[in-house]
Amino acid sequence: MLSLLWDLMMAFGRASNLGFGGGPAVVPLIQIEVVERYHWMTNSEFTDALAVGNALPGPIATKLAAYVGYQEAGWLGAIVANIGVILPTALAVVLLARFLMKYSKSPALQGMLKGVRPVVVVLIAQTA
């Protein structure tokens, strides 16, 4: 059971942290982990889970993690799989925030942030 929980956490941790671009970019990586690497589901079962997950509100990665985790190891599996999705990113945000707070007065960091601002404005304007 412990090995299964570890595999759930690692599979969803890999998929969510290697995917760049949000939920739609993570889905193929989750499919590789769930269907091809660990054989927890068939392609057909994964497609059904994805369809149900897309019909529900919220991020698709956490919904798929909860579903697969629950199917494989019950509620504990759902929790562990979601920890694999959420924890690495949350830790990265905390560490980045500490870095930004520590060096917030640095002229080099101020210059980098000034360079990023126009890009953020353009990205926001394109989505509006």
**pLDDT, tens only, 87-119:** 988 998 999 898 888 888 888 888 888 888 888
pLDDT digits (tens, 9 = 90+) for 22-60: 778 899 999 999 999 999 999 999 999 999 999 999 999
- In this prediction, residue 65 carries a pLDDT of 96
Question: CB 85: neighbour CB atoms within 10 A?
Answer: 26
Residue 115, amino acid: G
Q: In terms of Cα–Cα distance, which of 103, 69, 72 is closest to 83?
A: 69
Residue 74 token pair: 């019950």
Rounded Cα distance between 38 and 17, Å, is: 18
pLDDT digits (tens, 9 = 90+) for 62-93: 999 999 999 999 999 999 999 999 998 899 89
Rounded Cα distance between 19 and 30, Å, is: 9
